[in-house]
Each structure stands twice: as C-alpha cells, then as structure tokens.
Amino acid sequence: MTAWQIALLRTILAGSFLAAVVSSGSAQQALPANSLLHKQAPAFSREGFNKEIVDLHACRGKVVLLNFWATWCAPCQLEMPRLVEWQKQYGPRGLQIVGISMDDDPTAARTLYDKLRLNYPVAMGDEELGKLYGGILGLPVTFLIDADGRVAAEYRGETDLNAMEAQFRLLLPVPSN
C-alpha cells in the first residue's frame, strides 16, 4: 500500500465522512464536512499529459466535470469510457472533462491514459490539490462545476452515470438547430 492509500484508510476508519443526499435525488453519497457544494471551485494549473496546461480558470464559461481517479481504482476505470463518450458528444455544447490522476506513479497513469485513449486533458494530482477540493478520500471523486465556476454537485465513489449525465445536461446550453 502507498502512503496515500494508508492515509485514506485511516481517514475512513476514523469516520470523517458525513452523509448527504445529492440534490439530483440519486442515492445517498458521502460528502466531507468541508464540502465545496455551491462554492467557487478552487483554481489550479498543472501540466497535462500532453504537455498542455490544465488550468481550471481557463475553463470558465464551460461546464466542467473534474474527475479525480487512480489506476488502482476499478470504478474509475469503468467510468472513463463514458467520460470519453461525453467529451465527444457534449464537448461541442460546452462540456469540458478534466481528469486528475491521484496515482503516485505518473508512468502508470500515463499508460492507462494512452490505453483508454482519453480525449480530455489529464494532469497529476497530489495531496495539496486534494486538500483544495475538501480532501480526496476514496475514488473516484467528480465535481460538476457550472459555467460560472461554482460546484453544482459532488459525486464520491461509484455513481449512477445516467443521473450524472442528466444533471450536467441541465447546465449545458440548449443546442441550436
């Protein structure tokens, strides 16, 4: 186990989660006491896997799904193909998916990024970035951020992806035909 995974296990065992119901009506989800729900998403800028700058502030005006994941997280890997599909389908309407790998080894994260052919920017995260987002305790963790930069929803752990899609679609502009 890595130091990060040990710290995660200690936190879970200490019972630092609070139960809350996400406004979409989906199943109960655990949100930390310092939830960012309805607050401005913390800004960050990191170098992405393709040497691009992954800058949350630069995404202002778009709806963002900020997805924290790791290579050892099976639910993370299961949802990634759907994120690729959403970026392709909804990107032209203003959706921007941003991935943050919480792996200790950037090589493993880059290998999975290439294997799954992720079509959205991905950068490496760390404890500091995790703390900005209320503590990334357990994965996956995804934040739905509206076009004004406010956190509209938090999804922790396995999530009903259909409910997530329905929720972010409400924030996207109506397509013009």
Encode pLDDT of 90-111 as tens digits: 999 999 999 999 999 999 999 9
What angle (nearest 5°) sits at the alpha carbon of residue 74, between those of residues 16 and 132? Answer: 40
Q: Could you give the dihedral angle defined by the CA atoms of residues 172, 175, 176 and 177, in that order, rounded to the nearest 10 degrees? A: 180
Contact (Cβ atoms closer than 8 angstroms) between residue 117 and residue 84: yes
Residue 145 has pLDDT above 80, yes or no: yes
pLDDT digits (tens, 9 = 90+) for 66-94: 999 999 999 999 999 999 999 999 999 99
| Sign of the dihedral defined by the CA atoms of residues 28, 170, 137, 132, in that order | negative
> Where in the chain are the domains?
3-7+35-169
> Any alpha helices (H) in the chain, and if so which ranges?
3-14, 74-90, 106-115, 127-132, 161-171
How many Cα atoms within 13 Å fall on the side-chain side of residue 124? 13
Q: What is 3-7+35-169's CATH topology?
A: Glutaredoxin (3.40.30)
Predicted TM-score (pTM) of the model is: 0.82
Contacts of 96 (CB under 8 A, 6+ apart): 59, 62, 63, 64, 65, 87, 120
> For all residues of the chain together, what is the average pLDDT?
85
pLDDT of residue 18 exceeding 70, the answer is no
| Statement: residue 6 has pLDDT above 90 | no
